[in-house]
Each structure stands twice: as C-alpha cells, then as structure tokens.
Amino acid sequence: MDKRLSDHTIVEQLLSPDERTNDDILRYLHRRLYPMICRFLLNNKGSQADADDIFQEALIAIFKMVRQGKVDGNVNIEAYIYSICRNLWLKRLHKYRKETELTDEMTAIPTEDAGIKSFIDDDQKAAVEALFQQLGDDCRKVLMYYYYERRSMKEIMKLMNYSSEQVAKNKKSRCMKKLNELIADSKEQFRSLFNK
C-alpha cells in the first residue's frame, strides 16, 4: 500500500499542467481506493463490472471538480471519492429499482453526476477529433483552461508561459474565433449535435 499523501499534495498534482503528473496521482488513487470500492459494490448488490464503471466515473468526477476549482486541498479527497462512488451507486440502484440497505455508514456528500453523455456517433467523434487537431495544441489548451477548467487569465498566462495577461487574452480570443470558423465550416457535420 502506498504511503498516504496529504490532500493538498493530491490536489496539487491533479492541478498540474503536466499530464504525466496527473496520471501518476490518478494511479495512486486507483491503488488506494479501487479494492475498497470493489468490496463496497460487491457487498451491496453490485458486480465487478459495476465497480469498474462507478470507480472510473468517480475518478473523472474528482478530476473535473478539482480542475474546475470546486474541490480543494481542504477536503478529504479519499473519503470524497468514496462518497461519490456511494452516491453514484445509490442513484444507479434506484434506477434499477433495486432495494438495498447499504452496509456502509458514511455520510452522503452531495456530488454531481459525472456521467458524460456520449451522444455523438463515431463519424462525428472522428470529425471532432480532426477539428481539434486543426485548431492546434496551444489553442486547444488555452480554450480548455478557460472554458472547461474555468481558469483565470492570470493562471493561463503562467501555465502557457505568456509574458502578460493581455497576451493570454488575445490568444484566447484568436483561438475562439478560429474554433468558431472551423465549426462553421463543418456545420453540416455537427448540425445534429447542436440540435440536441
């Protein structure tokens, strides 16, 4: 078993712009929590496949929450992930109309469902991939930081090594314009996506 890291360290590593650092801390969380989540699911009418599914959803949720500034190092991250799993499983059980009494006594922490709806088909997926490749890595990163992770221009300036906030702002504007143009060019392909 890994030595327990502090919650601040975990959050710091989840926030790192270096993907390898993020992946390492996700692996650490996997090693520490996955067996426990499996036991919890198997003791509460779940299967191994349910455990795999729920645990991955929880890792996605905690990653997003930390990156979007909704969870910080003052939270007990391991307990929080456990409670996300518990809540996701409860929701799913209700959906299955199964009746169960959970043997776990942890207090529920309200969390958002990390369920990402996969509502586009494979062709559209490939088109989206191609579109973001055309956009370029720097633009993709700047827009992700701003719109997905809701980071400030100051943070983006540091993450991207820009000389000033104004440079970051201009870059973001240019990238958004480029993305809009690319989407407008392939509008037909994405029509069904945006009509949903």
Q: Which residues within the stretch 37-56 sit at the binding site for other proteins (CB under 8 A)?
A: 42-43, 45, 48, 52, 55-56
End-to-end CA distance of the chain: 46
Q: List strand residue ranges (DSSP E) for 12-169, in order.
A: none
Contact status: 167 vs other proteins (CB under 8 A): no
Count of residues interacting with other proteins (CB under 8 A): 41
Q: Which amino acid appears at position 62 of this protein?
A: I
In terms of Cβ atoms closer than 10 Å to its own Cβ (0-12, 13-18, 19+), residue 165 is: middle
User: Which CB, 74 or 118, lies closer to other proteins?
Assistant: 118
Q: Closest separation between CB of residue 136 and other proteins, Å?
A: 14
Closest CA to 127 of 180, 188, 196: 188
CA distance 107 to 120: 36
Contact status: 143 vs other proteins (CB under 8 A): yes
Compute how many other C-beta atoms are within 10 angstroms of the C-beta atom of residue 129.
10
Q: Closest separation between CB of residue 64 and other proteins, Å?
A: 7
Q: Which residues bind other proteins (CB under 8 A)?
A: 19, 23, 26-27, 30-31, 34, 42-43, 45, 48, 52, 55-56, 59-60, 63-64, 116, 118, 120, 125, 128-129, 131-132, 143-144, 147-148, 150, 173, 176-177, 179-180, 183-184, 190, 193-194
